[in-house]
DNA sequence: GTGGTCTAGACCACA
DNA sequence: GTGGTCTAGACCACA
């Protein structure tokens, strides 16, 4: 079940998109699994079907799901790897963010302690 | 002089806003300095004056500049500290980004090498 | 036995239809041969019987098969010629595709080498 | 001006999309040119703005155009090359089509005369 | 004015 | 039933 915040500045279709990606990544959804149909999710969440479809189209486009009219939408083979690869591309953001924090006067030690806390917790 | 990328997904007023902030932070603009008027910057950059105005209003709102009708806009006293404090608030983004990268299979060593490269370069 | 790709953008009924046509053309299916019943093929392929039915109706409509209620569906006399004639009609697609490739900067020599490779191989 | 066939089996947004691509390829639209706004084209063609936007989104996604809210949509730098490269990918279709025509009993000479007629005409 | 997002609801081909 | 396309029209941030 997805959590949608209609008041968020982040578009609803992006929220749906990201949460399904996260469920694939965490194993809640596995390759081959069928995800809710456009209509099902629409009535569950109280969101217009077009908005759901926009999220599903983006998932299809990225090769995370594939859709068969009449059958539904399914998690594609290799979806997990594809998501991970796209997320690795975010390594560039890290340098940029670190530069900002350095300029703001945050010490390397403070950064390191954040890195430690993220990489040493069990999850 | 500012560099505006009209093709960017980032709103133009945000680009203007951030670049002026950066110039304050790096000392190009000092407290008390006068910045270009809305009309000057508008014709220099070929950008709609309303867009410049929006960026300037946001700078005023955050206490980075103050405007005197008829005289222009000036960098406020304490602007540098105010900017640094707001940027420190971005420390929260770091944890979130690190979690994503960890999930994507990036090792703590890889992260550490990025941290080192940012904190050991002279700039 | 037919190979169905449920992920394909091509409708399943078209895949069934085309593969049976190909089997007629290559002699795997001969005039007078009985093809699997709708129910047999449906359970073999794990495909909705309505979808099989739609493919079979189209084969009947084009005079490639004929169906006798209670007996099954059979390859019609003259099926091979009928298929060949319909495929000749695709000669028009060739001009269109060649125009696109020409505009894309592909040389006549490159085209000719593809033509050679197709027409000189044994199959 | 675009020619839309509402009765066509090809989706309207694809017709719009392809015709704009063709205009870029033939030089009617040049890099940096502004194309009609969503609303303009919508009222010119009598097509719903959402349908126009879907075509424009696809153009953006392929890097053929870029859109700036408030300014409009423009032909991107390198658009022509990008279109040509995507069309070169259609070379694979050529082999497939030629195989079909060969099987249908069309001679290599007939194919060659079509190739000649396309590559020797001035356009 | 301009593109981006969203709702409400229709119709279609396909399964 | 299911996804795909389309219409009609609203509201928003941005320029």
Higher-pLDDT residue of C121 and C10 is C10
Q: Is C61 exposed, middle or buried (0-12, 13-18, 19+ CB in 10 A)?
A: exposed
Give the gap in angstroms from C-alpha B95 to the nearest C-alpha of chain A: 7
pTM over 0.85: no
**Of residues A117, A111, A118, the one with CA closest to residue A97:** A111
Any A CB within 8 A of C7 CB: yes
pLDDT in tens, D81-122: 999 999 988 898 999 999 989 988 899 999 999 999 999 876
Q: Is C72 exposed, middle or buried (0-12, 13-18, 19+ CB in 10 A)?
A: middle
C-alpha span between B65 and B32 (Å, rounded): 9
Average pLDDT, chain B: 91
- Phi then psi dihedrals of residue B22, to 5 deg: -65, -35
Query: Is the per-residue pLDDT at B84 higher than 80?
Result: yes
pLDDT in tens, B37-66: 999 999 999 999 999 999 999 999 999 999
Q: Do B98 and A119 touch (CB under 8 A)?
A: yes
Residue A51 is predicted with a pLDDT of 93
Give the gap in angstroms from C-alpha D98 to the nearest C-alpha of chain C: 7
Average pLDDT, chain D: 91
Q: How many helices (H) and strands (E) does chain A have?
A: 6, 3
On whether the CB atoms of residues B66 and B60 are closer than 8 A, the answer is yes
Q: Can chain A be said to touch chain C, i.e. do they have 3 or more Cβ pairs within 8 angstroms? A: yes
Q: Do A71 and C6 touch (CB under 8 A)?
A: yes
Residue B89 is predicted with a pLDDT of 87
Residue B69 is predicted with a pLDDT of 87
Q: Which residues on chain A are in Cβ contact (under 8 Å) with B115? A: 98, 108, 111-112, 115
Residue A123 is predicted with a pLDDT of 54
Residue C123 is predicted with a pLDDT of 53
With vertex at residue A69, the alpha carbon angle to CA A67 and CA A75, rounded to the nearest 5 degrees, is: 20
Query: Is the per-residue pLDDT at B70 higher than 90?
Result: no
Residue C69 is predicted with a pLDDT of 87
pLDDT in tens, C33-53: 999 999 999 999 999 999 999
Confidence of residue C82 (pLDDT cuts 50, 70, 90): very high
Q: Which residues on chain B are in Cβ contact (under 8 Å) with A100? A: 87, 90
* C1' of nucleotide F15: residue with nearest CA: D70
Question: Residues near C96 by Cβ (< 8 Å), separated by ≥ 6?
Answer: none
Residue B21 is predicted with a pLDDT of 94
Interface of A with C in 55-74 (CB under 8 A): 66, 68, 70-71
Any B CB within 8 A of A118 CB: yes
Query: Is the per-residue pLDDT at C122 higher than 70?
Result: no
Structure tokens, B83? 């900017």
Q: Do D110 and C119 touch (CB under 8 A)?
A: no
Give the gap in angstroms from C-alpha C100 to the nearest C-alpha of chain D: 7
Average pLDDT, chain C: 91
C-alpha span between B48 and A50 (Å, rounded): 34
Any D CB within 8 A of B104 CB: no
The CB density around residue D78, as the number of other CB atoms within 10 Å, is: 12
Query: Is the per-residue pLDDT at B104 higher than 70?
Result: yes
Question: Residues near B2 by Cβ (< 8 Å), separated by ≥ 6?
Answer: B15, B16, B19, B20, B41, B45
Query: Is the per-residue pLDDT at B123 higher than 60?
Result: no
On whether the CB atoms of residues D44 and D1 are closer than 8 A, the answer is yes
Residue A122 is predicted with a pLDDT of 63
Q: Which residues on chain A are in Cβ contact (under 8 Å) with B90? A: 97, 100-101, 104
Q: Do D101 and C91 touch (CB under 8 A)?
A: yes
Confidence of residue C8 (pLDDT cuts 50, 70, 90): confident
> What number is the average pLDDT over the span B64-78?
93
pLDDT in tens, A11-39: 999 999 999 999 999 999 999 999 999 99
3-state secondary structure of B69: coil
Confidence of residue B1 (pLDDT cuts 50, 70, 90): confident
Q: Can chain B be said to touch chain A, i.e. do they have 3 or more Cβ pairs within 8 angstroms? A: yes
**Of residues D10, D13, D20, the one with CA closest to residue D42:** D13
C-alpha span between D62 and A56 (Å, rounded): 19
């Amino acid at each position: 079940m997805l959590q949608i915040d209609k008041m968020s500045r982040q578009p609803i279709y992006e929220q749906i998109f990201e949460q399904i990606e996260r469920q694939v990544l965490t194993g809640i959804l596995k390759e081959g699994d069928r995800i809710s149909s456009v209509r099902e999710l629409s009535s569950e969440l109280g969101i217009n079907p077009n908005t759901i479809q926009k999220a599903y189209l983006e998932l299809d486009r990225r090769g995370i799901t594939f859709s068969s009219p009449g059958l539904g939408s399914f998690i594609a083979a290799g979806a997990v790897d594809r998501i991970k690869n796209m997320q690795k591309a975010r390594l560039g953001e890290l340098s940029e963010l670190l530069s900002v924090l350095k300029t703001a006067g945050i010490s390397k030690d403070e950064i390191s302690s954040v890195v430690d806390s993220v990489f040493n917790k069990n999850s």
